[in-house]
Amino acid sequence: MKKPNIVILGAGYGGMITATRLSKLLGHNEANITLVNKHDYHYQTTWLHEPAAGTLSPERTRMPIGSVLDLNKIKFVQDIVVEIKAADKKVVLEDGELEYDYLVVGLGSEAETFGVPGVHEYAFSKWTVNGAREVKEHIEYMFAKYNNTAEKKDELLTFVVAGAGFTGIEFIGELSDRVPELCEHYDIPREKVKLYVIEAAPTALPGFDPELVEYAMNLLESRGVEFKINCPIKEVTETGVSLANGDEIKAETVVWATGVRGSSIIEKSGFEAMRGRIKVEPDLRAPGYEDVFVIGDCALLINEEINRPYPPTAQIAMQMAEVCAHNIKALIKNDPLKTFKPDIKGTVASLGGKEAIGVVGTRKLFGSSANFMKKMIDNRYLFLLGGPGLVLKKGKSPF
Ligand code: FAD
Ligand code: NAD
């Protein structure tokens, strides 16, 4: 019998865990497993606010795919996915085509702009290794330029973060922690630097524990961050941002973090989607497609208790990957499929330095205990992916 071809698109949290699990669940003779990714490395998206602000080397957030996956069991193809032709069971790549019997779509997300003009032209919105490097270099250039130009001085040192969700808060946490060092390095008085976080909703971190939100805001304000809450951004321009209340903030740096939508490949390929995400069946297959699984940020899953989608997180992407791998094996072996049910363990967000906030189970954490927990979560992922060796090589000290 012909060995089935399993093709996994995207080497993020979902794709990497699916690939490792499948390579353990299925023997060499049972299936061909192919992983396709844009780069020859895997990166931890959840760490990217750190290299973006310059508090961690980008090298720490990525690893060669071949260093963690067994490429004797998994064929790796470095290429860009252009389109999925589900009716023909084919994936079109920039440099060729792949045929599949089972497909896993784990292509992650793209910035959500909600139609705000100017985001792609004038804001930094790419939460990738290359995107993080660009933001960091730009920030440092602004500081370097300040003492060398007589014009536009204030805008050079004005940094706007759009969105006070977890990404915006974690990024400003890192940047506000680094600003004193940047000021010293570039001979700039601290009071010249303006840090804004602009949020459309009536609170920062909407939906999160109010006491922890207050803790985070107080801490960030003590580092000089100014919040503008209940204040949607209407447009990003060459000179800064325009707000719905008519105000304008002139800034040379706008970092966009107003949420995500699924990969544009999904809509381009004709799948029915909401904001680029496919509302998956309980077994994680795309409705109407027996052989297409969708995981991570490309998948939309409704939390029945509140009738709203679960937020797209690495935590869920990894759990989906486990069930997806199990279900592909079950299809191959004619076994029953599992239903996916997320097991949300909590949420912990870093605030720069040794500060963080979080809820784990029913426990609220802040300060150094939350920071400890955050580092443990980061290390746990490395452990799940590559065992203790990877934690030793790439892990973070929890202290
Ligand atoms: P990703 O991990 O984004 O991986 C997608 C992969 O697909 C990438 O390798 C990409 O290069 C590749 N790819 C994309 N398009 C193509 C293409 N056309 N062709 C080939 N390859 C392609 N979640 C948490 O649970 N906890 C956190 O603490 C947390 N912190 C975060 C911090 C930040 C700064 C950000 C931005 C997000 C954070 N998240 C966190 C959310 C989390 O990162 C995402 O939910 C998670 O990465 C989704 O995993 P994924 O496998 O779907 O996609
Ligand atoms: P998000 O959707 O969680 O937050 C985006 C914020 O931007 C919202 O508060 C929204 O009201 C605001 N916003 C939207 N339009 C705006 C506008 N025009 N002007 C000003 N504000 C606007 O998105 P995110 O922070 O990018 O996070 C994406 C996903 O990644 C989420 O699921 C999040 O939970 C997850 N994440 C988790 C962590 C963590 O657990 N530590 C960290 C980062 C991201």
Whether 374 maps to a domain, the answer reads: yes
The reply to whether 126 and 221 lie within a common domain is yes
Q: Which secondary structure element, helix H or strand E, spans residue 315, and what is its range?
A: helix 314-333
Q: Average pLDDT, stretch 297-325?
A: 96
Percent above pLDDT 90 for the chain: 96
Domain span at residue 201 reads 113-258+345-399
Cβ contacts of 306 within 8 Å, gap of 6 or more = none
What CATH number corresponds to the domain at position 159?
3.50.50.100
**Tokens 């570039």, located at residue:** 186
The reply to whether 163 and 29 lie within a common domain is no
At 216-227, the pLDDT tens digits run 999 999 999 999
Distance 8 CA to ligand 2 centre (A): 27
Q: Average pLDDT, stretch 293-303?
A: 97
The reply to whether 312 and 376 lie within a common domain is no
Distance 65 CA to ligand 2 centre (A): 28
Instruction: Give the tokens for residue 147.
Output: 């003492």
Nearest to 126 by CA among 179, 171, 82, 76: 171
- Its ipTM equals 0.99
Whether 376 maps to a domain, the answer reads: yes
The reply to whether 363 and 252 lie within a common domain is yes
Ligand 2 surroundings by CB, under 6 angstroms = 114, 116, 162-168, 170, 198-201, 206, 232-233, 257-260, 311-313, 347-349
At 132-154, the pLDDT tens digits run 999 999 999 999 999 998 775 89
- Rounded distance, CA 240 to CA 262, Å? 27
Distance 138 CA to ligand 2 centre (A): 23
pLDDT number for residue 152:
58
82, 313, 359: residue to mutate for ligand 1 pocket, most atoms within 8 A of CB: 313
Whether 101 maps to a domain, the answer reads: yes
Whether 245 maps to a domain, the answer reads: yes
* Ligand nearest, relative to CA of residue 168: 2
